[in-house]
Chains A and B, each alone.
Chain A
Amino acid sequence: MSTPTTTTYEKHTLNTKKKSQWLDVWKRLKKSRTAVIGLILILVFLMLALFAPFIADYEKDALGMNVKERLQSPSLTHWFGTDEFGRDIFARIVYGTRISLFVGIISVSIALSLGGTLGAIAGYYGGRIDNAIMRVLDVLLAIPTILLAITIVAALGASILNLMIAVGISNIPGFARVVRASVLSVKDQEYIESARAIGARDHTIILKHVLPNSMAPIVVFATLKVASAIMATSSLSFIGLGIQPPTPEWGNMLAGGRAYIRDHMYIVLSPGLAIVLTVLSLNLIGDGLRDALDPKLK
């Protein structure tokens, strides 16, 4: 039962099984109209971020001040108008997309790697280790996420790196819980036991067998968390603790434009919509993925 050949064979079937499973998910996801809208939207934002230099010049349009053209309403030359310094709001939003997606993805990666490791260890070993890790996470969970992030940035100082660390750390407990639950759900299955029986080491088992088979909920959770990390980034920037001027970021654009809402409301309209659309598209995808992975609910 435990010859090397059988394991290779087993692995092989597992892989094909996994592939076809994700193919199924993709087929189901394609059927969901809302998820497709989300995918298209996020694709647009990704393109904006990627091709930003072809759309507008960073130095000239996004940072360059031109007080003669300040506070202009949206027009053909300035699609979303200009801000209080005469900078083109559209250009700033385009470059803001880069920051938001970057910070969102990196901070979730931080949370996923740290939280995921903790969760996997807790779930896999169980017992005292599990208990100890979960108690520590209880403490982190007792502080509302955004407040934890604010506290960390307040202590470390406002910079893009500290922002990512703060948002990342504050999301650790969530990821730990999700990964732990997934690990728990697969760890007693036969193929894990057989892997253990052939003497595979723990971290090999976790990395090669447990995690790949418990990916589904983690992917869903990570998608939703990128959305909330983007929201957190703009929130922190709005209160002056996130991305600092002159770097364009949606939250700090809103903070700057706030004084002008009475006569120039467009100034806060488009940065806000950019946040809503990005977050919404990720939420739509996350929801769609969840339904596609767990067909029984729909």
Chain B
Amino acid sequence: MKNKLVALSLIFLFASLLLFAGGNQEGQQVAKTDISIALSADITSLDPMGHNDTKSERVSFLLFNRLFRLNTDFEVVPDLAESWSQPSPEEWVIKIKEGVLFHDGTEMTSEDVKYSLDRSREMPKVQQVLSEVNSVEVVDTYTVKITTNSAFAPFLYTLVHAGTSIVPKAYAESDDKFASPVGSGPYTFVEWVSGDRVVLAKNDAYFDADNMGQSAQITFKVIPEGTSRTIALETGEVDVVDELPTMDIGKVEDASDLTLYQKPSTRINFFAMNTEKEPFDNILVRQALNYAVDKEAIIAVALDGAGVQADSVLAPSFLGYKKGPYSYDPEQAKALLVKAGYPDGFEMSIMTSGDERKRIAEIIQANFMDIGVTASIEMLEWGTFIDSVLKGLEQSLVLGWTSNPDPDATLTPIFFSGNIGGMNFSRINDPKLDSLLKAGREELDLAGRAEIYGEFHTYVMEQAPFVPLFVNNNNVGANAGLKGVELSPQGLWNIEKIHY
């Protein structure tokens, strides 16, 4: 009996030694040529046209190139494009740089560009991006001609989206399904351990010497929990935290070995109602809810007070901005509900994702309860949330959206009737909104545009598909020894330039 016990415990000991040995190998010190960046959620896809969220975008931007890119001031600058011209208002002739190599060593040609843009228009998650495009033709090995449906002034802005990345045709048609993606970007793919990390290595053969990768390896660590992200930064487990929780801003500021980067964002956070669904097809209900939400409370809870109240659908810095007419007034809200035919309120659901937005939704829920509206909250994982919203499965939602600098680049995707099924979150279909948007993008005079957009703001707030909540800062925490940390209004930018 005793021998058997000894044997058993030996087996146990041996097994555990094996386990611990396995653990040790992972504990190796990370050299300073490698950096790791904490993400709050896992990426959803390595296919640049298979996602439409900022986490996956961070990775896509490093693996792939687009024809154009945005600089930190949000101006369009060429990326793969060498030169471009506009023979007519609907035609864009774009010549790409010669000698751009994909990670598998093949050279990029106009065939790849045509293939990628055509693919982008078909892939469900990004098809709205190039909805203005009518056709893409190959002119010669390095030139393509893109024809748009109508004169479309901000067209180049659409070509900076991750969903318009240029992928190698031969690879994209293979069976790999972007399991180990091949792009042309400053970094090459190493591995994606789902739920844990994405690892990329520097591409030494990158075509753009000015924008070469600076660190040998970049690891994106998935750390869903806010406090854990900050701690990981403090202990040096990660070098950069992309979305620093507002409650930890002070801690990063106070730590001598950490640096806080802040930039006002163009990110507007809003509560949107699906105007296709009852009772939100009723304008009075939508207006009532605009009076019901206590934005100050939301800023206090979600941002620990560090944010600015939003009174219309864009940040105040935009051309033609005008405030909406609403203030926090539950009595007015109740009165409007009675007028709308809902004296006893109604039941509804709010869909959202993530800790911060959950807290926002809970305050909205409490605010609504005060006016007799019973809201339930449906929490989804980030990728699924975006997906469900694009499909219009939600009744209402809480979301933040980063706007591009030109008002059209945000307003058209979000309010144009043609973008229902895309980013038209409230699924609003209003001829007057459509015609104002059209006028805005065709008007060349600045003062004229400002007037058009002013009218747009007034009208859209009257229609009230959104309850605008607040505009926040982008907060990034990084190791003080890091160089090249840049922020755009969308958060961490030009990640390839970060290094020790």
Contact = CB atoms under 8 A, between A and B. Distances in A.
Interface of A: 63-65, 67, 70, 84-85, 240, 244-246, 256, 258-263
A286 to B, nearest CB: 31
Contacts of B377: 244-245
B56 to A, nearest CB: 23
Given A84-B301, A259-B227, A261-B227, A63 B369 contact: yes
Given A67-B297, A84-B301, A84-B359, A262 B227 contact: yes
**Which 6 pairs, one residue from A and one from B, show the smallest C-beta to C-beta distance?**
A67-B300, A67-B297, A65-B366, A262-B227, A245-B362, A259-B226
Nearest to A85: B301
Interface of B: 225-227, 230-231, 245, 247-248, 296-297, 300-301, 355, 358-359, 362-363, 365-366, 369, 376-377, 379
Given A84-B359, A246-B365, A246-B366, A67 B301 contact: yes
Contacts of B358: 245
Contacts of B301: 67, 70, 84-85
Contact of A85 (B296, B362, B379): B362
A216 B42 CA distance: 51
A259 to B, nearest CB: 5
Contact of A70 (B231, B300, B355): B300
B297 A258 contact: no
Contacts of B355: 259
Contacts of B379: 240
Contacts of B366: 63-65, 85, 246
Contacts of B225: 258-259
A85 B369 CA distance: 15
Given A65-B363, A85-B366, A245-B377, A260 B247 contact: yes
A262 B248 CA distance: 10
Given A67-B300, A70-B300, A70-B301, A259 B365 contact: no
Given A240-B379, A259-B355, A85 B227 contact: no
Contacts of A85: 301, 359, 362-363, 366
Contacts of B247: 259-260, 263
Contacts of B365: 245-246
Contacts of A245: 358, 362, 365, 377
Nearest to A87: B366
A263 B296 CA distance: 22
Given A245-B377, A246-B366, A258-B225, 19 more contacts: A63-B369, A64-B366, A65-B363, A65-B366, A67-B301, A70-B300, A84-B301, A240-B379, A244-B376, A245-B362, A246-B365, A258-B227, A259-B225, A259-B247, A259-B355, A260-B227, A260-B247, A262-B227, A262-B231
Contacts of B231: 262
A254 to B, nearest CB: 13
Contacts of A240: 379
7 contacts: A67-B300, A240-B379, A244-B376, A245-B362, A246-B365, A260-B247, A262-B230
A155 to B, nearest CB: 15
A84 B246 CA distance: 13
A260 B302 CA distance: 12
Contacts of A260: 227, 247
A259 B245 contact: yes
Contacts of B248: 262
Contact of B362 (A246, A258, A259, A262): A246
A59 to B, nearest CB: 8
A70 B366 CA distance: 15
A208 B362 CA distance: 51
A91 B434 CA distance: 50
B214 to A, nearest CB: 32
A50 B391 CA distance: 45
Contacts of B230: 262
A111 to B, nearest CB: 27
A132 B297 CA distance: 59
Contacts of B376: 244
Contact of A65 (B226, B227, B297): B297
A85 B363 CA distance: 8
Nearest to B367: A65
A259 B231 CA distance: 12
A201 B47 CA distance: 69
A41 to B, nearest CB: 31
A258 B369 CA distance: 25
A244 B301 CA distance: 19
A266 B358 CA distance: 21
Q: Chain B CB within 10 Å — which of A84, A256, A261 has the most?
A: A84
A67 B359 CA distance: 12
Contacts of A63: 366, 369
B234 to A, nearest CB: 11
A221 B296 CA distance: 51
Nearest to B305: A67
Contacts of A65: 297, 363, 366
A255 B252 CA distance: 25
Nearest to B356: A259
A220 B139 CA distance: 82
Q: Chain A CB within 10 Å — which of B226, B230, B300, B377 has the most?
A: B300
Nearest to B231: A262
A154 to B, nearest CB: 13
Contacts of A64: 366
A34 B366 CA distance: 42
A55 B359 CA distance: 27
Q: Chain A CB within 10 Å — which of B230, B247, B296 has the most?
A: B247
Nearest to A262: B227
A40 B355 CA distance: 38
B282 to A, nearest CB: 25
A198 to B, nearest CB: 53
Nearest to A66: B297
A108 B159 CA distance: 59
A269 to B, nearest CB: 16
A85 B301 CA distance: 7
A260 B228 CA distance: 11
B353 to A, nearest CB: 11
B304 to A, nearest CB: 9
A163 B230 CA distance: 34
A273 B363 CA distance: 26
Contacts of A258: 225, 227
Contacts of A246: 362, 365-366, 369
B324 to A, nearest CB: 22
A243 to B, nearest CB: 12
A166 B472 CA distance: 41
A246 B359 CA distance: 11
A67 B355 CA distance: 17
